């Protein structure tokens, strides 16, 4: 059986690192990509020290030229990319009236433009081979408004719809495109939001002043919970699923 090659962006930490590890454990050769080269090297070392196959690539998803060059390098080094997982993302929080131009542009440049750059570059090869799948890690906040998270919510909503449109256009080539939408997940990104006093317990309980209901399952997601969902949608078990959004949030969005 042909060995699958997967490109995972944002693989240096959090959900991206968990996705890279999960796919590698399933026998996929992982091209792990991030701009944090030292943290990325640590994650790849963890994977390879356990006997699995992974290689680190420094990719700034905001730069289409760099993306194109990186895709060529990966396919030259490892082989044709059959699985793309878009995880790279950034968060800037502030009330809308206080958001800066830099906040807005930074969030969109990674979370939306980056998804476009990588997906377009990888999909061109997939179309030529008439096979492949794309999974974009979105957010339940793409469907539920959140206080002080307008840039992030809007960018995730855009990348979610982009991925569905990509799936529609690539379906005739046998390429599937889906979204995994996590809720609050125990990652450095989530913990960075706790400095203002809204910590783990308030995430579980909800916060009336922020119109959050909390998490019905009464626990945060672990990165592995999201990685399992990604791995399913990337597998042959999901061979008839495309343009789907799988929410992994413990019920926090009430199925929205």
Percent helix, strand and coil across the chain, each to the nearest 5: 50, 15, 35
- The helix-helix angle for 114-129 and 64-77 (nearest 10°) equals 40
Q: Of 152, 173, 198, 211, which one is the catalytic site residue?
A: 152
CA distance 88 to 63: 13
Q: Is 152 in the active site?
A: yes
C-alpha span between 251 and 178 (Å, rounded): 20
The alpha carbon of 96 is separated from its chain's Cα centroid by a whole number of angstroms, namely 24
Cross-sheet strand order for the sheet of 29-34 = 54-58, 29-34, 5-9, 83-86, 132-137, 175-182, 245-248
Quickly count helices (H) and strands (E) in the chain. Answer: 9, 7
Q: With contact defined as beta carbons under 8 Å apart, do 233 and 120 qualify?
A: no
Catalytic residue IDs: 152
């Amino acid at each position: 059986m042909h060995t699958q090659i997967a490109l995972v962006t944002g693989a240096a930490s959090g959900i991206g690192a968990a996705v890279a590890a999960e796919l590698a454990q399933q026998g996929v050769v992982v091209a792990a990509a991030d701009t944090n080269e030292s943290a990325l090297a640590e994650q790849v070392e963890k994977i390879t020290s356990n006997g699995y196959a992974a290689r680190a690539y420094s990719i700034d998803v905001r730069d289409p030229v760099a993306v194109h060059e990186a895709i060529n390098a990966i396919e030259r080094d490892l082989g044709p990319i059959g699985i793309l997982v878009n995880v790279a993302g950034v968060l800037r929080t502030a009330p809308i009236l206080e958001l800066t131009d830099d906040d807005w542009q930074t969030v969109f440049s990674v979370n939306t433009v980056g998804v476009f750059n990588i997906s377009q570059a990888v999909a061109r090869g997939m179309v030529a081979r008439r096979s492949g799948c794309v999974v974009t890690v979105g957010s339940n906040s793409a469907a539920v408004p959140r206080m002080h998270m307008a840039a992030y919510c809007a960018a995730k909503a855009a990348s979610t719809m982009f991925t569905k449109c990509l799936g529609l256009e690539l379906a005739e080539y046998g390429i599937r495109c889906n979204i995994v939408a996590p809720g609050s997940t125990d990652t450095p990104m989530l913990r960075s939001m706790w400095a203002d006093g809204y910590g783990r317990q308030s995430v579980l309980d909800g916060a009336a002043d922020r119109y959050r209901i909390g998490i019905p399952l009464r626990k945060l997601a672990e990165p592995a919970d999201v990685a399992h969902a990604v791995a399913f949608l990337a597998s042959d078990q999901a061979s008839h699923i495309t343009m789907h959004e799988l929410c992994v949030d413990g019920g926090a969005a009430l199925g929205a």
